[in-house]
Amino acid sequence: MQASPHLKRLEAESIFILREVASEFENPVLLYSIGKDSSVILHLARKAFFPAKPPFPLLHIDSTWEFRDMIEFRERYARQELGLNVIAYHNEDGVRDGINPFDHGASYTDIMRTQPLKRALTHFGFDAAIGGGRRDEEKSRAKERIFSFRDRNHRWDPRNQRPELWSLYNTWKATGESIRVFPISNWTELDVWQYILQERIPIVPLYFAKERPVVRRGNDLIVVDDERMRLEQHEKPVNMKVRFRTLGCYPVTGATESEAETIEDIVHEMLTTRSSERQGRAVDREEAAAMERKKKDGYF
Amino acid sequence: MSVAQEVYSQLAVHNSKDLLRFITCGNVDDGKSTLIGRLLLEAGAIYDDQIAALQNDSNKYGTTGGRIDTALLLDGLEDERQQGITIDVAYRYFTTQRRKFILADSPGHEQFTRNMATAASNADVAIVLIDVTKGVSVQTRRHAYIATLLGVKQIVLAVNKMDLVQYQSDVFQRIVDEFRQFATALGRVDAYAIPLSALEGDNVTVLSGNMPWYQGETLLGYLDNVRIEDRLRHASLRFPIQRVSRPDANFRGFSGTICSGQLQCGDEVVVLPARSKARIKSIVTMDGELNRAETHDAITVTLDRELNLARGDMLVPGDAEPRITTEFQATVVWMSEQPLVIEKRYWLKHTTRKTPCEIKTLHHRTDVNSLARLSAPVLRLNEIGFCTLQTTEPVVCDDYQTNRTTGSFILVDRITHETVAAGLIASSAEESQPGYWSSASALTHAKRQQSLVRMEDREAQYGQKPGTILITGLSCSGKTTVALQLEKKLFEAGKIVVVLDGQWLRMGISRDLAFSAEERSENLRRGAEIAKMLNDSGQICIAAFVAPSAWVRQKTRELIGRDRFLHIHLSTHVEVCRQRDSTGQYQAADRGEIQNFPGVTYSYEAPDDADLYFDTSLQSPEAIAEEVYQRLVTKWF
């Protein structure tokens, strides 16, 4: 397939950003969520530093409620096949206290994702964290910088962000402060899929439609991924052919009914869809401002 | 057709699309957010669940009485949505059958010049919104100026709210004419005007039936069809090294992105600033080796010999080298609450190189509303000025209008690490020309009648050849004292001589001038014009001026005429001048009461081309006057 000039530009821009991070920071890390955006960034990082390996480790913040397929993919592909340094980190206290998405609602994400992320960044002394955020995902991300400054408490202040001109990124910071970097800021969801197709990038099978045990909660289709899933009395999982557009903790990530079994099918679906990818995230739908508040607190 | 075939045929369309980056500038009141929201909505960039959320938001925050308020699609952050104001740059993405678009939505308020400059720095096209009921406003001018300054070559003049003037063509035409008249001052820029109504949807994506007199493009049609020339592709190779790659002892590659031009295996390149030469041995990517690479490509090259290169070095062709300099002039957009401080050390980031730098001289500030050049002691947030910068390490650069990448830089505060300014490097043609040296006379039919007295007759009658002796130096360096000694000597020798002193001029003819670079230059220009008149009448003129700018001294020499001009520079040390200062000027400058004081808060560009140099702490004024007199005897008399 002929490479797209549009994707070539996006790819080059992302590679430039990744190389800036590696050159300007002492101890960068790639936040690896195992999703499609992370997979694209990982692929871009391999390209950026070829023939060398990416000069930073991968950090996966494991909420302990991930889909099993994600953990399996992380171990098989990132760790074994690519031979990369993968750090898996989770909140021990949260596990001990039995924090779960059923009982702890909004504070669950904070305790099992945001808090361990902040703790891991501090623990390992990472001064730059590369993430997969895209500006087209959500309104408050539309204003995010590519190099996004965080204070010593990892907080984001929307009123105090550095202006970003041309491709001259301000990477200066004091000890303890850090910068989050979003190399695929300018990519859309369609670009991501088109690129995955063009480059044949391996992704978690959850993105492909398959018969899966599903319960319907409101408008969400929740896949029962393991025995910890708490079912209401009237709920009985039924097999449906579903796939995911985004991945997160399985009890709060909605699947969509789909027949898309290949990347070609997914791209086809993307070209005709009328709903946004975040529709599947119960956590985002509450109110548009929710995301912004979470970001201020240090969520990615 | 199978799904795969169908996808590939659809992708073939996608793959042929190019990318257009554009910005929108205007006020909330001009209906900007409404316009962009409608553009996104009608271009199909908004998903159904987002439309549902928008309807929800419209009921909650909207200003359209429950109708979908497309403006709410744009305002992203919670604070500003509640205020109903866009306060930052937001990026939007959409695609049509022909193009992919990245829209940087930038705010229109006065205090946000910095955001607009940020948005414009990567844009090809700017949509400047005008409210038809208000006409070309101060803001319209400002937006057009900043966009063109940042290198945007295409402007769309979106004349909005046509529904409020009953879609009359003459109202539209008047505004377009007014804008075009103003736009000629901006230099090379294409402006395309479209009458529209964002609220009603006229001429946004569909030609309006309400304005049959308009047969041009709709807004979206324009964006789809406008030709964008990527001038960087045709420019000379610029490849700044971003990173040295050494995975093992056998491989040594240089990674980076090609800013402009192209590169091919076997090409000979020069490495700047070291000036070593090498040939490109290979172009390495994960997808295999390439024979050639183009502008914007992110690649890794190897060279045919071992050179010790580092991040920040640049590969260029031997026949088209950029400037290598530690001093250059640039337009600077100030972006910090903390004003610019002359001679303070900042970090400068240019391509992949960082160096300490300082701003030596602030020549003038440009009023973004009137485009007038004003004198300015400092630059404040959202002000734009023209400066001379000096860097500790050499910068390998082009001018901004030629190359947006190698012609741009940012300044960063060394303590707060805030990005304080964005800089656009000037070409030598644009370099500062403070004052009115190059201005044309307001007279349109100027003709000067010839004097009836010939110069030879004057010289014979007065027994002298006329000329101007310019004495320069810091305040209290002894200029006037030397000038008066020299006057006495010349007078005693029977010569006709006049002393012009910069200070004296300021008491009368230059009473209107203060002490900016611009005004200092103007004071000397007036002095030079007077000296020339005196010389033309056969008299000798001794001119004593501080004259801190080399360029202005050069213009003085040209105005008076090289063969009639003698430059004496007093290099008396600033500490000596300070001690001599009986009027307390230096102390006042230290306290900031006098601004732009050469030797204290303003740099003095010491000449290297003066005819004679003296130091009044080593020689008496009489002795200096005698030496100058002897020089005049051999040169002029």
pLDDT above 60 (res B341) = yes
**Are B349 and B338 within 8 A, CB to CB?**
no
Query: 3-state SS of chain A: helix, strand, coil percent to 5?
Result: 40, 15, 45
Cα–Cα nearest to B139, from B21, B34, B28: B28
In degrees, rounded to 5, the angle at the alpha carbon of residue B124 between the alpha carbons of residues B121 and B127 is 95
Task: Using the predicted structure, report yes or no on whether residue B216 has a pLDDT greater than 90.
Answer: yes
Residue-level pLDDT at B137: 85
Beta bridge partners of B570: B614
10 Å CB burial of residue B317 (0-12, 13-18, 19+) is middle
% of chain A beyond a pLDDT of 70: 89
pLDDT band at B434 (very low <50, low <70, confident <90, very high): low
Q: How far apart are CA A210 and CA A196, in angstroms?
A: 19
Give me the domains of chain B, ranges plus CATH numbers.
Answer: 3-225 (3.40.50.300), 232-316 (2.40.30.10), 324-430 (2.40.30.10), 455-635 (3.40.50.300)
Distance from CA of A97 to the nearest CA of B (A): 33
**DSSP strand E in B369-466: where?**
373-374, 384-397, 408-413, 419-425
d(CA B281, CA B267): 8
- DSSP character string of B571-599: ---HHHHHHH-SS-HHHHHHTTSS-S-BT
Predicted local confidence at residue B440, as pLDDT: 54
* Interface contact A163-B79, CB threshold 8 A: no
Question: What is the CA B207 to chain-centroid distance, rounded?
Answer: 38
* Cα A179–Cα A183–Cα A187 angle in degrees, nearest 5: 140
Q: What is the pLDDT of residues B556-607, one digit of tens each?
A: 898 898 889 999 999 999 999 999 998 888 998 888 787 778 888 777 888 9
Residue A152 has pLDDT above 90, yes or no: no
The C-alpha atoms of residue B514 and residue B512 are separated, in whole angstroms, by 7
- Which tokens belong to B431? 């370099």
Residue of A nearest to B96 (CA): A271
B92 vs A contacts (CB less than 8 Å): 136, 142
Locus of tokens 């390495």 = B284
Q: Which residue has the higher pLDDT, A163 or A286?
A: A163
Q: How far apart are CA B365 and CA B428, in angstroms?
A: 19
- Residue B631: strand, helix, or coil: helix
Residues 6+ apart with CB under 8 A from A78: A32, A34, A42, A58, A84, A86
Q: What is the predicted pLDDT for the residue at A296? A: 63
pLDDT at B186: 77
Rounded to the nearest angstrom, the minimum Cα separation between B405 and chain A is 7
pLDDT surpasses 90 at B42: no
Within B184-244, residue ranges assigned H as helices are 219-225, 231-234
pLDDT band at B77 (very low <50, low <70, confident <90, very high): very low
**Please, which pLDDT band fits residue B359 given cuts at 50, 70 and 90?**
very high
- pTM of the full predicted structure? 0.80
pLDDT at B63: 66
Residue tagged 């609450």 (tokens): B337
pLDDT digits (tens, 9 = 90+) for B521-549: 889 999 999 999 999 999 999 999 999 88
Cβ atoms of A27 and A122 within 8 Å: the answer is: no
Residue with tokens 């080593």: B618
pLDDT at B390 over 70: yes
Phi and psi for A71 in degrees, rounded to 5?
-65, -40
| Residues from chain A contacting residue B245 (CB–CB below 8 Å) | 49, 51-52
CB of A225 within 8 Å of a chain B CB? The answer is no
Q: Residues 4..33 of A with a Cβ closer than 8 Å to B: which? A: 4-9, 11-12, 15-16, 19-20, 22-23
State the sign of the Cα–Cα–Cα–Cα dihedral B521, B526, B529, B535.
negative
Q: In the prediction, which pLDDT does B190 show?
A: 84
Confidence of residue A300 (pLDDT cuts 50, 70, 90): low
Residues B253/B302, Cβ–Cβ less than 8 Å: yes
| A269 near B CB under 8 A | no
